[in-house]
């Protein structure tokens, strides 16, 4: 069994600590980037993408298809919405995007055509034989340049997706082609939105004063309601995962170097579910001087941070049984990585508030957030002073897609 280098572990614990001053800087820099970005987005690390949508009125209604694509799974839902806050899921079909030994639509071996053919098949299953015309809203959770509400071009993959032939393409055209091939022309894609925008509009459909929508999951990103975008109201997708005015520690740099897109998505690589487990793995590999790659998930980290089966998880994943007193160090490291993650996310919300000066309520969706009261509390604590409230968005991505479709055909 390997020896633990305690100094390495202790140093890493310090490297992942985040001070109040550092958080204040993040907040300040974030505000500056937003304000600079409203003038000339190319000069900032925030993409500031207009969504072609403003807040819903709450009167939107009808039955729509919602396609939710952008994380570990792809989901198609038939949803009925009526009046503020009311919705019913009539049918739901879901599939992972990769299954070991069978298929992987996120890999470089897959093409956009194959991916969208797969999605069209799921759409067909959800329709259960119906051939009535139906409008479809698509939540596509990647940085995309919106051409209008119905059309968006993928700027670049994030979250380590590598599927060929999608970057630079209009994803609505790819979807429309795939629908045609399956004789599903009666399905009309009328809106494509980011998942943060879906979270914001679905929550604003239900309650008042929601002005920020955020995803804290495999990926991370935030959008907000901008009252003055070239004189108009507009929900703006910040693509805040790309925010780069940050102090990276040695492990952040290592992770970035080994990633699919070095230099990009620096905030996301410090906070999101796709990466926090990897940061932990990198520290343990170094501290245990291991050649082998470890595979700690964000869920493992949340458990370790709360000392739930911590020693057992370390032994399983790193093949090392912590000795007396060592478990506390492993717990502390996990807690610091997660505390830094949630505190950075909260600092960006504060940064938006410093810009808009209008007290927002924040809707947050995503598995990492929804499943971990531990992280919810850290975010809430960081926002307490400013009196900003947070809400968990239920069915945000799908409901948002349906509302966007309703807004498109209104
Ligand atoms: C993407 C965003 C998305 C976020 C959450 C990021 O990797 O760039 O567009 O909103 O993940 O899914």
Q: Measured between alpha carbons, how far is 382 from 24 in angstroms, rounded to an integer?
A: 11
324 occurs within a structural domain: no
CA of 132 to the centre of ligand 1 (A): 33
366 occurs within a structural domain: no
CA of 34 to the centre of ligand 1 (A): 18
Query: What pLDDT shows up at residue 1?
Result: 62
175 occurs within a structural domain: yes
355 occurs within a structural domain: no
10 Å CB burial of residue 178 (0-12, 13-18, 19+) is: buried
Tell me the pairing of strands 73-82 and 62-69.
antiparallel
CB neighbour list of residue 71: distance below 8 Å, 6 or more residues apart: 141, 159, 217, 218, 219, 367
- Count how many residues are written for the chain: 410
Ligand 1: atom nearest CA of 274 is 7
Assigned token pair, 30: 């974030």
CA angle 73, 78, 84 (to 5 degrees): 105
Helix ranges restricted to H, 153-272: 171-181, 195-206, 250-258, 266-271
120 occurs within a structural domain: yes
Q: Measured between alpha carbons, how far is 52 from 234 in angstroms, rounded to an integer?
A: 7
CA of 194 to the centre of ligand 1 (A): 8
Profile the chain (410 residues) by mean pLDDT over runs of 10 residues.
Answer: 91 98 98 96 94 95 96 93 91 96 95 97 98 98 97 95 97 98 98 98 94 96 96 97 97 97 97 97 97 94 96 97 95 98 98 97 95 95 96 91 96
Query: C-alpha 237: how far from its chain's center?
Result: 12
Ligand 1 pocket check: which of 75, 106, 143, 212 to mutate, most ligand atoms within 8 Å of Cβ?
A: 143
Check residue 128 and report its DSSP letter.
T
Range of the domain at 88: 61-193
CATH no. for residue 83? 3.30.420.40
Residue nearest atom 11 of ligand 1, based on CA coordinates: 219
Ligand 1 pocket check: which of 47, 141, 218 to mutate, most ligand atoms within 8 Å of Cβ?
A: 141
Assigned token pair, 7: 């100094």
Q: Is the CB of 141 under 6 A from ligand 1?
A: yes
CA of 213 to the centre of ligand 1 (A): 12
Q: Measured between alpha carbons, how far is 377 from 382 in angstroms, rounded to an integer?
A: 9
CA of 219 to the centre of ligand 1 (A): 5
Q: Measured between alpha carbons, how far is 372 from 364 in angstroms, rounded to an integer?
A: 12
CA of 142 to the centre of ligand 1 (A): 5
CA-wise closest residue to 189 among 155, 132, 139: 139
Q: Measured between alpha carbons, how far is 164 from 153 in angstroms, rounded to an integer?
A: 14
Q: Is the CB of 222 under 6 A from ligand 1?
A: no
CB neighbour list of residue 258: distance below 8 Å, 6 or more residues apart: none
Residue nearest atom 6 of ligand 1, based on CA coordinates: 219
CA of 240 to the centre of ligand 1 (A): 9
Backbone angles phi, psi at 103, to 5 degrees: -150, 155
Ligand 1 pocket check: which of 45, 48, 70 to mutate, most ligand atoms within 8 Å of Cβ?
A: 70
CA of 214 to the centre of ligand 1 (A): 9
64: three-class secondary structure by DSSP = strand
111 occurs within a structural domain: yes
CA-wise closest residue to 296 among 344, 268, 330, 260: 330
Residue nearest atom 1 of ligand 1, based on CA coordinates: 142
Helix ranges restricted to H, 262-392: 266-271, 273-287, 298-305, 310-318, 327-356, 367-370, 373-384
Q: Is the CB of 397 under 6 A from ligand 1?
A: no
Residue nearest atom 8 of ligand 1, based on CA coordinates: 142
Q: Is the CB of 241 under 6 A from ligand 1?
A: yes
CA of 141 to the centre of ligand 1 (A): 5
Q: Is the CB of 194 under 6 A from ligand 1?
A: yes
Q: Measured between alpha carbons, how far is 336 from 17 in angstroms, rounded to an integer?
A: 6
What total of structural domains would you count in the chain?
1
173 occurs within a structural domain: yes
Q: Is the CB of 159 under 6 A from ligand 1?
A: yes
CA of 183 to the centre of ligand 1 (A): 31
Q: Measured between alpha carbons, how far is 276 from 252 in angstroms, rounded to an integer?
A: 10
10 Å CB burial of residue 45 (0-12, 13-18, 19+) is: buried
Q: Measured between alpha carbons, how far is 3 from 73 in angstroms, rounded to an integer?
A: 39
Query: What pLDDT shows up at residue 7?
Result: 97
Q: Is the CB of 268 under 6 A from ligand 1?
A: yes
Query: What pLDDT shows up at residue 84?
Result: 84
Ligand 1: atom nearest CA of 195 is 10
Q: How many CB atoms lie within 10 A of CB 229?
A: 16
CB neighbour list of residue 325: distance below 8 Å, 6 or more residues apart: none
Ligand 1: atom nearest CA of 142 is 9
Q: Is the CB of 242 under 6 A from ligand 1?
A: no
For the question of whether the overall pTM of this predicted structure is more than 0.85, the answer is: yes
168 occurs within a structural domain: yes
Instruction: For residue 93, give the H/E element and its range.
Output: strand 86-96
Residue 116 CA neighbour count, 13 Å, CB half: 23
């Amino acid at each position: 069994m390997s020896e633990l280098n305690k100094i390495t572990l202790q140093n890493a614990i310090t490297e992942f600590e985040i001070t109040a001053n550092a958080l204040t800087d993040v907040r300040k820099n974030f505000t500056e980037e937003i304000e600079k970005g409203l003038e000339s987005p190319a000069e900032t690390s925030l993409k500031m993408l207009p969504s072609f949508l403003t807040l819903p009125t709450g009167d939107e209604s009808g039955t729509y298809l919602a396609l939710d694509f952008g994380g570990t799974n792809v989901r198609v839902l038939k949803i009925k919405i009526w009046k503020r806050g009311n919705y019913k899921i009539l049918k739901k079909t879901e599939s992972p995007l990769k299954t070991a030994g069978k298929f992987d639509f996120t890999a470089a071996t897959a093409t956009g055509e194959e991916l969208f053919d797969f999605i069209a098949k799921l759409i067909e299953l959800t329709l259960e034989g119906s051939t009535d015309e139906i409008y479809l809203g698509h939540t596509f959770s990647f940085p995309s340049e919106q051409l209008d509400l119905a059309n968006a071009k993928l700027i670049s993959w994030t979250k380590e997706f590598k599927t060929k032939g999608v970057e630079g393409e209009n994803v609505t055209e790819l979807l429309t082609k795939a629908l045609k091939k399956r004789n599903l022309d009666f399905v009309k894609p009328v809106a494509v939105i980011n998942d943060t925008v879906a979270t914001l509009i679905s929550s604003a459909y239900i309650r008042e004063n929601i002005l920020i929508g955020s995803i804290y999951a495999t990926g991370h990103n935030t959008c907000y309601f901008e009252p003055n975008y070239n004189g108009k109201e507009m929900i703006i997708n910040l693509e805040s995962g790309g925010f780069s005015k940050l102090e990276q520690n040695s492990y952040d740099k290592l992770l970035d170097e080994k990633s699919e897109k070095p230099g990009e998505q620096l905030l996301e690589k410090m906070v999101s579910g796709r990466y926090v487990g990897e940061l932990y793995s990198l520290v343990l590999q170094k501290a245990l001087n291991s050649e082998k790659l470890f595979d700690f998930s964000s869920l493992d980290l949340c458990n370790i941070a709360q000392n739930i089966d911590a020693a057992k998880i370390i032994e399983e994943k790193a093949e090392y049984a912590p000795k007396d007193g060592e478990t506390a160090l492993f717990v502390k490291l996990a807690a610091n990585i997660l505390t830094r993650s949630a505190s950075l996310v909260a600092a960006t919300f504060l940064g938006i508030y410093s810009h808009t000066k209008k007290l927002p309520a924040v809707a947050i969706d995503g598995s990492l957030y929804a499943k971990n009261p531990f992280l919810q509390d850290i975010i809430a604590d960081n926002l307490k002073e400013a009196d900003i409230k947070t809400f968990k968005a239920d069915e945000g991505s799908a409901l948002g897609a349906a509302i966007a479709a309703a807004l498109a055909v209104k």
